[in-house]
Amino acid sequence: MLGANCTSNPPILNGSSGGGYVTNLGGVNCYVTGSPLLIFVILLASDFYGYQAPLLRKLADKVGTKGYHVVVPDFFNGDPFDPNNASRPQDIWLKDHPPEKGIETAKVVVEALKHKGAYAIGAAGFCWGGKPAVDLGNSGHTKVTVLLHPAFVTNNDIERTNISIAILGGQNDTITPPSQIKQYEEILNAKKPEVESLVKIFPGVSHGWTLRYDPNDPEAVKDAEKAHEIMLDWFDKHLKKH
Ligand SMILES: *[C@@H]1O[C@H](CO)[C@@H](O)[C@H](O)[C@H]1NC(C)=O
Ligand SMILES: *[C@@H]1O[C@H](CO)[C@@H](O)[C@H](O)[C@H]1NC(C)=O
Ligand SMILES: *[C@@H]1O[C@H](CO)[C@@H](O)[C@H](O)[C@H]1NC(C)=O
Ligand SMILES: *[C@@H]1O[C@H](CO)[C@@H](O)[C@H](O)[C@H]1NC(C)=O
C-alpha cells in the first residue's frame, strides 16, 4: 500500500484539459502536446491518477514549449485509481495495474513513436510512473530518465541503469523516504560512476509535490516549479546532446 500520502490532493480528472490533444499510439490513448516534430520526445509516466490530471497536462504543455514533443500515455486504459471508491482500495487497484506491467504499455507507445520517426526519447516518471520510466531506460527504449517522487523502484532497477538519470525526492516523502533516495544515490556513486546522475532531496515537501500541489498556494507552486525546472534542465543537457 502506498499510504495516505499518495491520496492527498487527488486531482479532479478532466479529459479535455490542456492545450494538446488525445490520440492513439499503438493502441494506447495518449495526451500529446508541444512540438509537432518528433526529434526530441519526452514521455511522461503518470502517477496512479492517470493522464487526465490537469496539473500533469499543464506540466506536459510547459515541457512542450521548450521544443519537445510530449506524450502522456493512459497507462490504465480508462481506469485510473479512484480514491473515492471505498470498494476498491489501492492494494486492490494495484493488482489490476501493477507498476511492473507499465513497461508493456510504455514499450508499445515508444515503438509507435519510433515508427513515426522519433529521434531521441526520454522519460520522466511520477510515483507509479517511476517504475515504467526506469524500466524503459533499462530495456534500451529511452536515452534519459528523470524520476520524481518515484514509487516501486528497486535498488536493482537503479543498479541496472546505464543512462543519464535524475532522481528527485522529498524530505517528507514517507513512500520513498530520503533514506531510500540516498540508497539510490550510493548505488549510482559506487557502482555507476560512468553514468551521469543527479540525486536531490527537496526540503519540506511530501510525496507527490510536483504534481498534486495546491495551485492556490504560492509556496507549493514554487516547490513544484523548482523540481520541474531541474527535470527540464536534465533533459536539455542530456537528451538534446544526442
Ligand atoms: C476541463 O477542461 C476544459 C478545457 O481546459 C475546461 O474548459 C473545463 O472547464 C474543464 N472542466 C472542469 C470540470 O474543470
Ligand atoms: C468501484 O470499484 C468497484 C470494484 O472494482 C467497481 O465495480 C465499481 O464500479 C466502482 N465504483 C465506481 C463509482 O466507480
Ligand atoms: C549496463 O551496463 C553493464 C556493463 O556494461 C551491462 O553488463 C548491463 O547489461 C547493462 N544493463 C542494461 C540494463 O542494459
Ligand atoms: C518535513 O520534515 C522536517 C524534518 O523532519 C520537519 O521539520 C518539517 O516540519 C516537515 N515539513 C512538513 C511540511 O511536514
**pTM confidence score:** 0.95
Average pLDDT on 154-168 reads: 98
Count of structural domains within the chain: 1
Among 136, 139, 160, residue to substitute to test ligand 3 (most atoms within 8 Å of Cβ): 160
In this structure, the residues whose C-beta lies within 6 A of any atom of ligand 4 are 171-172, 204
Query: How much is the pLDDT for 241?
Result: 85
Report the alpha-carbon distance of residue 146 to residue 157 in Å, rounded. Answer: 13
- Please answer whether residues 136 and 123 qualify as being in contact, where contact means their C-beta atoms are separated by less than 8 angstroms: yes
Q: How many residues does the chain have?
A: 242
The ligand that comes nearest to the alpha carbon of residue 172 is 4
Query: How much is the pLDDT for 1?
Result: 46
pLDDT grade, residue 77 (50/70/90)? very high
Percent of the chain with pLDDT over 70: 98
- Please answer whether residues 102 and 108 qualify as being in contact, where contact means their C-beta atoms are separated by less than 8 angstroms: no
Report the alpha-carbon distance of residue 42 to residue 84 in Å, rounded. Answer: 31
Atom of ligand 2 nearest to the CA of 96: 5
Let me know if residue 61 belongs to a domain. Answer: yes
The residue type of 114 is K
Contacts of 222 (CB under 8 A, 6+ apart): none
Which cell goes with 192? 555507476
Answer yes or no: is the C-beta of 17 below 6 A from any ligand 1 atom.
yes
Let me know if residue 210 belongs to a domain. Answer: yes
Domain holding 129, by residue range, is 21-238
The residue type of 239 is L
Q: Residue 37 belongs to a domain with what CATH number?
A: 3.40.50.1820
- Please answer whether residues 57 and 33 qualify as being in contact, where contact means their C-beta atoms are separated by less than 8 angstroms: yes
Query: Residue 193 C-alpha to ligand 3 middle, in angstroms?
Result: 13
Does 233 score more than 80 pLDDT?
Answer: yes
Does 2 score more than 70 pLDDT?
Answer: no
Q: Is 117 left (phi over 0), alpha (psi -120 to 50) or beta?
A: left
Atom of ligand 1 nearest to the CA of 14: 1
pLDDT grade, residue 242 (50/70/90)? confident
Let me know if residue 8 belongs to a domain. Answer: no
